[in-house]
Structure 1
């Protein structure tokens, strides 16, 4: 991913990326995105973009393994998050879903992960401390809640599922208040061109609709041009 593409991805929303992937693929039907409504701690901060650093947690029940095993895995988790390709996104599956109670994402954990140079978090689990999450580290989560429960790390670097979307460690992910999408690796080289083409195509209808003399005839003409240009 070039710096030019990264900057562009950070400037557009996730629906735009979904549409642009279809432009790049030359067909409709791309479906590697989240389903359902997610919550964002800071929707005004825009999208988070990066390579997934994955893990699985649980919190409803206490861990059954020895404390030293849990501690060792927790430290291995943080090492995994502190290393790897950048930009990065932490992508965490809460195995208690849809009955998650453990808010792994509060002031301390978000501040630590931001310090590691991670752009933000995507999770089907719980977030809290919404007024204290550091600026520049959005959390996109399945719910909010007050307690951490018995939260503990179960797996590190394994494939995860977030609201119906499968994510492998290292996948390129784009996420915002709408949800998230995994960008196919073979699309990356043409994605910048596809996004710019999409934005240009959308302006055909948007510019016409915003004009003072817009009417049905102007709409019909613009829509015909729009249909000819889009995927």
Structure 2
């Protein structure tokens, strides 16, 4: 679980900030549990979405080959899985057709259902649509935009998925925004809030002087020296 103070802090900062803060918490560079490549946000001006992953896999390029009753049963099991579990929660859904995904699983109806379940947003390497009609307060971070749902169907539930090079297990804590997404390591959660505060304070040592009138190379050198000293 995550305390409300940390949750509020995570919702206030962007994903690059959290990415850097995790390295502050770990005391080294090299954190790599993040997405690669450009993703798209249905609400680029919205804040970050934070929550525990509820995972699934879908496909859409070809019709399902299993019996209709099996597909229907799995679809209902999928929605039950999304409804259950700890909150806050994010739907993290891998489209197994990627990089040739064509079926927009995330449209007005499906996003409204997930929002109604109390979820905070969705992360997918697949397709979204109905931009402008998606409900407020439920950002979708997706791999592409398209007009059709094609033959979209659920293939599996609660399995490990991969989104733009990032491995996600059901229950992982996710932070995502228009930059992409990352998995927050469980071992840094107790100190992540203080790491974010330290990072933001440290950055001001450069950002403050750089925004002041008369900023020059000499002032930059002094600011950068203070910045590097604070990071060691």
- TM over 0.5, yes or no? yes
State the 1:213 CA deviation.
2.4
Say what the alpha-carbon RMSD is for the aligned residues: 0.6
State the 1:223 CA deviation.
0.2
Match of 1:155, SS? Answer: strand
Match of 1:51 in 2: 52
Match of 1:122 in 2: 123
Match of 2:213 in 1: 212
Unaligned runs of 5+ in 2: none
Return the alpha-carbon distance in structure 2 between the equivalents of residues 143 and 45 of structure 1: 18
Return the alpha-carbon distance in structure 1 between the equivalents of residues 153 and 229 of structure 2: 53
Structural mapping, 1:19-168, within 5 Å: 19-168=20-169
The alignment's TM-score, normalised by the length of structure 1, stands at: 0.99
Q: Residue deviations 1:123-182, cap 9 Å, x none? A: 000000001000110000000000000000000000000000000000000000000000
Match of 1:203 in 2: 204
Match of 1:43, SS? Answer: coil
Return the alpha-carbon distance in structure 2 between the equivalents of residues 79 and 104 of structure 1: 17
Match of 1:190 in 2: 191
Is 1:177 aligned to 2:178, yes or no? yes
Q: Residue deviations 1:95-127, cap 9 Å, x none? A: 000000000000000000000000000000000
Return the alpha-carbon distance in structure 2 between the equivalents of residues 191 and 224 of structure 1: 25
State the 1:71 CA deviation.
0.2
The ranges of structure 1 where at least 4 consecutive aligned residues each deviate by more than 4 angstroms after the TM superposition are none
What number of residue pairs does the alignment pair up? 231
State the 1:16 CA deviation.
0.2
State the 1:214 CA deviation.
1.2
Return the alpha-carbon distance in structure 2 between the equivalents of residues 142 and 46 of structure 1: 19
Return the alpha-carbon distance in structure 2 between the equivalents of residues 230 and 211 of structure 1: 22
